[in-house]
């Protein structure tokens, strides 16, 4: 009996019990769709996080107050410490002290309410220096960015993110208009270009003022010289580790700390942030995929169950086929083929469903799902293998039936 005939006989037998076959396939189908979705969700989240981190700029080192509590990059005391100062930032910008640092942008940020007449909009207000656009890789859509003079004069000039401008003025064309923060009027001198493809809205919903103005007018208080973050841009990709060393050593010196373990600040690179985030999500993905794989196993047991029922139910057919001259190999092959068809169709339909869900779900979940082709073809292959493996026992049982007993069974 040729393979073509074995296939058509198997297909025929499956069609003869379409409802039962459908329910069997469902088990595999759900498992495969779940594997594809969880792998896709994991990859998608990793991609989102990486995109978010790289959208900060390129070749960046991020200095934050507080010390590292573990080598994995978990920061302690972030936001609570005020150990970084404007002086630190100025020192890092020095060509002699840190030759591999191209530019430095200190940030002092706070959440504030911006007013335009009756319109209110709460956003993150960032106080920084003119080098911010270079360091954070931002460009202006209209107007100009803050200048050194703005800082020196503590000018009440402000640059808005495109979304913030739209929220306050109904359009991004806001240059020359006035916003009020804490009863102080600011003149809009520029509007930032949209940060583009990042899924995060934060980049476009912001307002930038001179650092000095931020310290004196908006935040006030005693910590006028402290900053929340210092962004350090290395000269090039190859200089990142040199820039890291220089930043670390310079700040240790300035803070009078001899042992690097006692540092009251943390320098992290984008790579470190990405790999930390990635490893967290990878663990999560592996865990979820494991659960999905379990449901595949259950699906496989379903296939075996149905094939065993099928062997029992078709004992007479098997006996007849043997009496008519079917060798044990032909019987075994027939049942294996049926089990494989069940597995494979579950795999293909499940993969289709998974891909479809990956297209629809991101709109609902607000998280991207990356359909990985290796995962799709891998799971289809696994589904086929499940059909084969769980089909072996029923097939061997069918092939072993003695024709006389099989013929006599009721």
Partner 1 sequence: MTTTTTTTAPWAASDAGAPATSTPVIELAGGRKTYRSGSIEFEALRGVDLRIDRGEYVAIMGPSGSGKSTLMNVLGCLDVLTTGEYRLAGNDVGELDEIDLATLRNEEIGFVFQQFHLLPSLSAWRNVELPLMYRGTQRAERKERASAALERVGLGDRLENRPGELSGGQQQRVAVARALVGEPALILADEPTGNLDTVSTEDVLALFDELHAQGRTIVLITHEPEVAERARRVVRVRDGVIQSDGPASALHDDRGYLHHDENGGVR
Closest separation between CB of residue 7 and partner 1, Å? Answer: 13
Contact indicator for 353, 35 with CB cutoff of 8 Å = no
Contact indicator for 40, 367 with CB cutoff of 8 Å = no
Closest separation between CB of residue 30 and partner 1, Å? Answer: 29
Residues that bind partner 1 (CB under 8 A): 1-2, 5, 12-13, 16, 316-317, 319-330, 403-404, 407
Closest separation between CB of residue 8 and partner 1, Å? Answer: 10
Closest separation between CB of residue 306 and partner 1, Å? Answer: 17
Closest separation between CB of residue 11 and partner 1, Å? Answer: 12
Closest separation between CB of residue 344 and partner 1, Å? Answer: 22
Outline where DSSP puts E strands in 66-205: 101-116, 119-128, 140-143, 157-160, 178-181, 184-192
Contact indicator for 370, 40 with CB cutoff of 8 Å = yes
Residues 6+ apart with CB under 8 A from 293: 31, 35
Distance in angstroms (rounded) separating the CA atoms of residues 12 and 133: 68
Distance in angstroms (rounded) separating the CA atoms of residues 376 and 367: 20
- Give the residue with the Cβ less far from partner 1, 98 or 318: 318
- Give the residue with the Cβ less far from partner 1, 233 or 332: 332
- Give the residue with the Cβ less far from partner 1, 324 or 364: 324
Distance in angstroms (rounded) separating the CA atoms of residues 154 and 213: 5
Q: How far is CA 114 from the centre of its chain?
A: 32
Strand 101-116 versus strand 119-128 pairing type: antiparallel
- Give the residue with the Cβ less far from partner 1, 235 or 330: 330
Distance in angstroms (rounded) separating the CA atoms of residues 81 and 86: 14
Distance in angstroms (rounded) separating the CA atoms of residues 313 and 300: 20
- Give the residue with the Cβ less far from partner 1, 51 or 407: 407
Closest separation between CB of residue 386 and partner 1, Å? Answer: 26
- Give the residue with the Cβ less far from partner 1, 177 or 397: 397
- Give the residue with the Cβ less far from partner 1, 17 or 224: 17
């Amino acid at each position: 009996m040729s393979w073509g005939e074995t296939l058509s006989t198997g297909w025929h037998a499956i069609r003869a019990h379409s409802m039962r076959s459908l329910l069997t396939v469902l088990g595999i189908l759900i498992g495969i769709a779940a594997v594809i979705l969880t792998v896709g969700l994991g990859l998608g989240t990793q991609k989102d996080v990486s995109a978010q981190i790289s959208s900060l700029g390129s070749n960046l080192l991020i200095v934050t107050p507080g010390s590292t509590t573990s080598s994995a990059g978990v920061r302690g005391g972030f936001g609570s410490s005020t150990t970084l100062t404007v002086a630190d930032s100025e020192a890092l910008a020095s060509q002699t002290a840190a030759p591999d640092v191209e530019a430095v942008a200190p940030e002092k940020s706070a959440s504030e309410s911006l007013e335009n007449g009756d319109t209110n909009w709460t956003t993150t207000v960032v106080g920084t220096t003119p080098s911010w656009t270079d360091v954070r890789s931002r460009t202006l859509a209209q107007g100009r960015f803050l200048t050194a003079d703005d800082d020196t004069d503590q000018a009440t000039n402000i640059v808005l993110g495109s979304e913030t401008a739209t929220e306050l003025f109904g359009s991004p064309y806001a240059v020359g208009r006035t916003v009020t923060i804490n009863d102080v009027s600011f003149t809009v001198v520029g509007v930032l270009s949209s940060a583009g493809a990042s899924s995060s809205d934060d980049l476009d919903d912001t307002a930038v003022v001179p650092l000095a103005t931020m310290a004196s007018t908006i935040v006030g208080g005693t910590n006028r010289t402290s900053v929340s973050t210092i962004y350090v841009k290395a000269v090039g990709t190859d200089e990142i580790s040199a820039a890291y060393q220089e930043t670390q050593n310079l700040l240790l010196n300035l803070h009078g700390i001899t042992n690097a373990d006692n540092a009251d600040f943390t320098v992290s690179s984008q790579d470190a942030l990405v790999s930390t985030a990635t490893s967290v999500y990878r663990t999560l993905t592996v865990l979820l995929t494991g659960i999905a794989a379990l449901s595949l196993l259950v699906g496989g047991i379903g296939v075996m169950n149905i094939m065993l029922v099928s062997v029992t139910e078709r004992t007479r057919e098997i006996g007849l086929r043997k009496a008519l001259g079917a060798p044990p190999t032909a019987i075994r092959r027939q049942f294996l083929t049926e089990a494989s068809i069940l597995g494979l169709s579950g795999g293909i339909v499940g993969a289709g469903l998974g891909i479809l869900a990956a297209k629809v779900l991101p709109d609902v979940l607000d998280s991207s799902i990356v359909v990985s082709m290796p995962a799709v073809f891998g799971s289809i292959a696994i589904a086929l293998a499940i059909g084969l493996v769980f089909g072996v026992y029923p097939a061997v049982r069918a092939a072993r039936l003695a024709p006389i007993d099989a013929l006599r069974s009721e």
